[in-house]
Amino acid sequence: MAQEIIYTNLVIEAIDDLVASLGTPSVYVIVDVNTAKFVLPILQSQSEAVKNAEIITVLAGDVNKGPDALQKVWKELSDKGATRKSVVINVGGGMITDLGGFAAATFKRGVRFINLPTTLLGAVDAAVGGKTGINFNGLKNEIGAFQDAVAVIISTLFFNTLPMQQMLSGYAEMLKHGLLDDKATLAELMRYNIENPPATPDLLLHLIEKSVGIKQAVVASDPHENGARKTLNLGHTVGHAFESFAMDVEHSPIPHGYAVAWGMVVELILSHMKLGFPSDTLHQFAQYIKEHYGYFQITCEQYPQLLQLMAHDKKNDTPEHIVFTLLKDVGQPVIDQTATADEIKSALDIYRDLIQ
Ligand SMILES: NC(=O)c1ccc[n+]([C@@H]2O[C@H](COP(=O)([O-])OP(=O)(O)OC[C@H]3O[C@@H](n4cnc5c(N)ncnc54)[C@H](O)[C@@H]3O)[C@@H](O)[C@H]2O)c1
Ligand SMILES: [Zn+2]
């Protein structure tokens, strides 16, 4: 099913027009406790489609993106009489679009859904691209389905209530898209100050549109992640290891985008070592990350654990090889690159020198 992406700050009109075009009065809105508080009241007071909809509320956060929440959504859809003609509107960050998308993809073998991302990370990453799912058995996104939303409505209106940390987390994925695209896109992103944005919200919407376009082009060429889509893993082999380390070993979780930001620095160092990625661009990027994201503290005693976490990344087919997407230059990704433990340790050493 083709996925329409609508970029607008006239969100209410967009929702109502879209729901009207789908030809059903049966609308179910899925929110978490935060979007129920910050976003839902605006929609309920202004949108005809949402005013008359059934609301399904789940607990917030990735820790709640599991079978219990999924079952709650299925049960409420069932109890409240949803049919195959119903439409689900997912109002939230990536947790809601993943969970709600999967619930919709599976309820009665699939009902249509609309994503209304309310976080920057949701807008530029999770809500687009057709991946839905839940965490299961202690593993992230272990159960899921590829299913496109009928439409994704992207607006910057709801970001006002997001903590800056959340904005920066999403912005890291935009920087990743910039690295995958070209030097001009990356430079434009590094000029925009997400922490002190200009008064015109349209500029951010424009940057988001460009960023999503980059992701869309990659996804269109490889919808089921057999090849080109792996380029989107840039920064994520090391990033996921940092994220798991912070969560499971240090019991002090870090936002996903921060982990990816630091992971991109390490992977650009590896890119320089193995593919000749230009060192001036590497230094500028590392400096930008240091300035906006700070530094993820690691010591060499922690290297073995970090390497083990990289090897267990589920995107790696054979645990003895750690697989990366690296860059020859900005806009020139190379997938399925392997690195030895010694090369990765050297890259981690340089990371510590560069941005500590
Ligand atoms: N499907 C994909 O391709 C894909 C890609 C990347 C990430 N993801 C998934 O996305 C999730 C992370 O996304 P996220 O960072 O958006 O997390 P999230 O959905 O958990 O949202 C982060 C926090 O912000 C709150 N929130 C959401 N909108 C708000 C608003 N407008 N104002 C105030 N608070 C608001 C949420 O309640 C939550 O507490 C993870 O579950 C991850 O696995 C999926
Ligand atoms: Zn990511």
Rounded to whole angstroms, how far apart are CA atoms 330 and 181? 7
Residue nearest to atom 23 of ligand 1 (CA): 61
Residue 347 C-alpha to ligand 1 middle, in angstroms? Answer: 30
Could you say which of 126, 142, 161 is where a domain stops?
A: 161
* 345 pLDDT more than 70: yes
Residue 351 one-letter amino acid? Y
Our mutation pick for probing the ligand 1 site, out of 121, 156, 236, counting the most ligand atoms within 8 A of Cβ, is: 121
pLDDT tens per residue across span 176-232: 999 999 999 999 999 999 998 887 768 999 999 999 999 999 999 987 888 899 999
Residue 261 C-alpha to ligand 2 middle, in angstroms? Answer: 9
- 103 and 208 in a single domain? The answer is no
Residue 21: its H or E element: helix 11-22
Sign of CA dihedral 202, 203, 208, 213: positive
Residue 60 C-alpha to ligand 1 middle, in angstroms? Answer: 9
- Residue 238's CATH number: 1.20.1090.10
- 174 and 245 in a single domain? The answer is yes
pLDDT tens per residue across span 144-168: 999 999 999 999 999 999 999 999 9
**Which percentage of the chain shows pLDDT scores above 90?**
88
* 325 pLDDT more than 90: yes
pLDDT tens per residue across span 243-265: 999 998 899 999 999 999 999 99
Between residues 249 and 291, the one the model is more confident about: 291
- 175 and 82 in a single domain? The answer is no
Ligand nearest to the CA of 38: 1
Q: Are 91 and 116 spatial neighbours (Cβ–Cβ below 8 Å)?
A: yes
Residue 229 C-alpha to ligand 2 middle, in angstroms? Answer: 13
Which among 72, 296, 322 has a CA at the least distance from the CA of 172? 296
The predicted model scores a pTM of 0.94
**pLDDT for residue 68:** 98
- The mean predicted confidence, pLDDT, of the chain is 94
**C-alpha dist (Å) from residue 171 to 3, 165, 216, 217:** 23, 10, 17, 19
H/E/C letters for each residue in 127-184?
CCCCEEEEEECCEEEEEEEECCCCEEEECCHHHHHCCHHHHHHHHHHHHHHHHHHCHH
- 234 and 142 in a single domain? The answer is no
The structural domain count of the chain equals 2
Q: Which domain holds residue 116?
A: 4-161
